[in-house]
Structure 1
Amino acid sequence: MKVVVQVKLLPEAEQAAALRSTLRTVNDLACWVSRVAFARGVPREYELRQHTYAHLKAEGLGAQAAQHVIKKVRDAYTTLHANLRAGNLGKPKSRRRIKAASKPIAFRSEAAQPYDDRCLSWQYDQQTVSIWTTAGRIKNVSFACSGDGLKTLRDYRKGEADLIERDGVFYLIATCDVPEAEAYEPDGFIGVDLGIVNIATTSTGYQAAGRGLGRYRKRQLALRAKLQKKRTKSAKRRLKERSRRETRHVKNTNHIIAKTIVTEAERTAHGIALEELRGIRRRVRLRKPQRVTFHSWAFAQLGDFIVYKARRAGVPLVYVDPAYTSQTCADCDHVDKKNRVDQATFICRNCGVVAHADRNASRNIAARGAAVWTAGRESRVPATP
């Protein structure tokens, strides 16, 4: 299981200048390689290397750095073509799709540059790294990270690490291959209903209200509107800062919710049942005032956090079909659109039970999760005649 650990570099002034110059150089050269690739119809990596490797070496890049620049460009085009095929950039004749496919990919000056073990070495006890730069290899660059992060790096780091610069600060993002815990046989399932008013509601009674996050987003939306009207460089800089701040806030909130759910499941030896919500933004039609809230709903991120935390803890997890979970009575299985009186209230037209709508839906999801798990365990071998 792949886990990413981010460490903050603490370079001295000369070291920081060398790192900054390196990122500028490799990304400028990546833009040049991208133009060559675009002009030649984006050839395979081996052919692209034949056209660009000598020039990259002449510009002062080491052998490994040159290889990584070429591979970074080729991977970027692979991702672009995959997005075009999947329709993620719009329909075939849409303006967005034409704009993306009609020019070479460009790389920001502070974009990430991959490093392998030939270009980067770690000294965990001293919490320093030795890293290649265009000014030569620099040693004893200090880094800072949490105790858990350092232990994960020491035990499980494997593969490449990316060097990035963000707001004048340098980070290394390292990939760690952490073994998954062995999943246990669950004693029932916890259903998780994801929503906007309530971010997550479980069948055990836990509810993460979205009121605070909604107020925060509404305030950020108003501040963005004010800054967008100014159209100045400083306003654009502030917009980027606020966008990143909002992203971090939402991410931290989702981490807390996911950890709470997984911890509860692990403590009670239960599994987790999640709704399969992929493609919901294409299926649902909304009035204009609701669109900003709906499209800023980070359900996919929360789901991903729950999945990876569950896998790391050995908690069984299944996906279920969310259809009619909000209209079905968890007590008598009666399905009726009128059962959902309003956003928060569920009243069954058949048995008369009154419940919180999200709690009722989470119970339905838990029941479906148990059914999916049982179906997966049933033998499909035909009976012997």
Structure 2
Amino acid sequence: MKLVVQVKLLPTPVQAAALEATLHACNEAATWVSEVAFAYREFKNFGLRRLTYEQVKSGWNLGAQAAQHTIKKTCDAYATLRANLKAGRLGRPGSACYRRATQKPVAFRPLGAQPYDDRMLSWQIAERTVSIWTTGGRMKDVVFTASPTQLATLALYRKGESDLICQNGMWFLNATCEVPEAPLNTDPVDFLGIDLGIVNIATTSDGEIMAGRELNRIRARERSLRAKLQKKNTPSARRRLNKRRCKEARRAKDINHKIAKHVVAEAERTGRGIALEDLTGIRERVRLRKPQRATHSSWAFAQLGQFIAYKARKAGVPVVHVDPAYTSRTCAECGHIDRANRVSQARFTCRSCGFVDHADRNGSRNIRARAQELWRCGVESTAPAPPLRPRDGAGRKRSITASDARCASPGL
């Protein structure tokens, strides 16, 4: 299983200037290659290399490996854009968003990520330094910092390319590691149901609530501050908004990691599988009042599902996604379905048998029961592999959108 380990570089001012000049040169060359690809309608690596390889090497003082990676990065960007157009993520053909994404070639940001292979980057893990190629020559003894777990993973499983990233003035290396998976538990004794919600982010069928009302108070305070800054709309307010956005994203990611780690560890310890709701397309299916929309869409539930999935694959824990329909209205004891069963957000009272329970725990028990039924019917683990998507102009692992990429025509 492929995982990405991110380590932080600690370059000196001279080293940082050399790294910055390297990213500027590589991304300027990639933008030129993109324009050539757009003009000649050539988006495949080999054909585009024949058109641009010599000019990239001589025009931007790039080495052979750097030039090849720059050309391949351009091809990957067009492949990602093509996939997004096909999937409808950039609107329907003829829409304004679709036209913006298909009328210009892909443009790369000056500090976009640059891939490095083992010829351009060597690791001295024991000394916590790297030797890295730059446009000014090979630069040795660039210090990096990482946790003991990350160092062990790098030493044992690092394989393939690494990406040089500059984000908010800080330098990172994203190293690809081929981590072995534990044998899948094909005979779980039971399932641990996980109910995802707005008030309580995750509730297990054991009755454990993770990230509940205390987190919601923090989220409400952040949302209020964000609204005030948006209303003010001055340059300093916009800078603070961007800073708050990054901080909120880091907090959500940290909490999702902690929830996923705890859930997988508990399932592995007890020999159980994990049952999750299949929330694909939930925003299109659910109709909400205007005051509820921001709360409903303000947590990264898809990210939480991805974290649980890849941690479960690594531990050999089966994961089954079930249909969430009516799990909050169904009695976990007698199976009676009634909208009136859900007395309030936190209270469930069955109108048929009188069973009383916490509403989220009742829902998680229904999710567990559905996973058990699916497993008895022969459904295997539905945990996907962790996505390793192409880089965007800033080096983040995600799909290119209309704001980052511009392409030539719908016929890509």
TM-score, normalised to structure 2, is: 0.88
Cα deviation digits, residues 173-197 of structure 1 (max 9, x gap) = 1111100111232111110011111
Secondary structure of 2:274's aligned partner: strand
Note the alpha carbon deviations across 1:331-360, whole angstroms, 9 max, x for none.
011122222222222111211111111111
Q: Which residue of 2 aligns with 1:383?
A: none
Q: CA deviation at 1:232?
A: 4.5
Q: 2:43 touches 2:78 (CA, 8 Å); kept in 1? A: no
Q: Distance in 2 between matches of 1:377 and 1:53?
A: 49
Q: For the structure 1 residues 236 and 33, does the alpha-carbon distance in structure 2 shift closer, same or farther, using more than 3 Å as the test?
A: farther
SS in 1 for 2:3: strand
CA contact (8 A) 1:164 1:172 kept: yes
- Kindly indicate whether residue 177 of structure 2 is the aligned counterpart of residue 183 of structure 1: no
Q: Check conservation: 2:252, 2:299, Cα contact below 8 A.
A: no
**Are positions 1:35 and 2:46 aligned together?**
no
- State the AA in 1 paired with 2:248: E
Contact kept? 1:42, 1:77, Cα under 8 Å: no
Partner SS, residue 137 of structure 1: strand
Distance 1:151 1:209 in 2: 30
1:11 aligned partner? 11
Q: Which runs of 4+ in 1 moved over 6 A?
A: none
The amino acid across from 2:38 in the alignment is F
Counterpart residue identity of residue 5, structure 2: V
Deviation at 1:313, TM superposition (A): 1.6
* Cross-structure match for 1:82: 83
SS in structure 1 of the partner of residue 137 of structure 2: coil
Is the counterpart of residue 312 in structure 1 residue 314 in structure 2? yes
* Secondary structure at the counterpart of residue 131 of structure 2: strand
Specify the alignment match of 1:245 in structure 2.
247
Paired residue secondary structure (1:6): strand
- Check 1:213–1:34 CA distance in 2 against 1; reply closer, same or farther (3 A cut): farther
RMSD: 1.7
Match of 2:360 in 1: 358
Greater relative contact order structure (CA < 8 Å, 6+ sep): 2
d(CA) in 2 for partners of 1:337, 1:212 = 28
Q: Tell me the distance in 1 between the aligned counterparts of 2:61 and 2:49.
A: 16
Percent of aligned pairs with the same amino acid: 62
In the alignment, what sits opposite 2:276?
Answer: 274
Report if aligned partners of 1:262, 1:315 keep a CA contact under 8 Å in 2.
Answer: yes
- Give the AA of the match of 1:289: P
Secondary structure at 1:198 match in 2: coil
Alignment of 1:63-212 (within 5 A): 63-184=64-185, 185-212=187-214
- Greater mean alpha carbon deviation, residues 268-277 or residues 246-255: 268-277
SS at 2:377's partner residue? helix
Bigger mean CA offset, 70-79 vs 32-41: 32-41
Query: What is the CA–CA distance in structure 1 between the aligned matches of 2:136 and 2:35, rounded to whole Å?
Result: 26
Structure 1 equivalent of residue 409 of structure 2: none
Partners of 1:106 and 1:240 lie apart in 2 by 22
Structure 2 residue runs without a partner (length 5+) = 381-412
- Secondary structure class of the residue paired with 1:324: coil
Amino acid at match of 2:125: Y
Q: 2:295 aligns with which of 293, 298, 304?
A: 293
Report SS of the residue matched to 1:261.
Answer: helix
2:46 aligned partner:
46
Distance 1:54 1:377, change over 3 A: closer
Note the C-alpha offset of 1:252.
Answer: 0.3
Q: Distance in 2 between matches of 1:234 and 1:25?
A: 31
Which whole-Å deviations, capped at 9, do the CAs of 1:140-194 have from their partners, x for residues lacking one?
1111000000000000011110000112211001111100111232111110011
Q: Shift of residue 82 of structure 1?
A: 0.8
Q: Does 1:26 align with 2:26?
A: yes
Instruction: Write the distance in 2 (CA, Å) between the matches of 1:26 and 1:204.
Output: 52
Q: Are the equivalent residues in 1 in contact too, given 2:65–2:120 (CA < 8 A)?
A: yes
Quote the Cα distance in structure 2 between the aligned partners of 1:282 and 1:23: 40
Mapped partners of 1:377, 1:13: distance in 2: 55
Unaligned runs of 5+ in 1: 379-385
* Residues 312, 34 of structure 1: alpha-carbon distance in 2 compared, 3 angstrom cutoff: same
Larger mean CA deviation between 99-108 and 248-257 belongs to: 99-108
- Residue 221 of structure 2 corresponds to which residue in structure 1? 219
In structure 1, distance between residues paired with 2:36 and 2:82: 17
**2: CA distance between counterparts of 1:71 and 1:377?**
39
Secondary structure of 2:28's aligned partner: helix
| 1:296 to partner: Cα distance | 1.9
Of stretches 159-168 and 43-52 in structure 1, the one that deviates more from structure 2 is: 43-52
User: Under a length normalisation based on structure 1, what TM-score does the superposition of the two structures give?
Assistant: 0.94
CA 1:377/1:231 → structure 2, altered by over 3 Å: closer, same or farther? closer
State the alpha-carbon separation in 2 of the partners of residues 377 and 196 from structure 1. 29
Structure 2 distance, partners of 1:224, 1:42, is 44
Q: Distance in 2 between matches of 1:55 and 1:261?
A: 53
Partner SS, residue 193 of structure 1: strand
Which residue of 315, 325, 328 corresponds with 2:327? 325
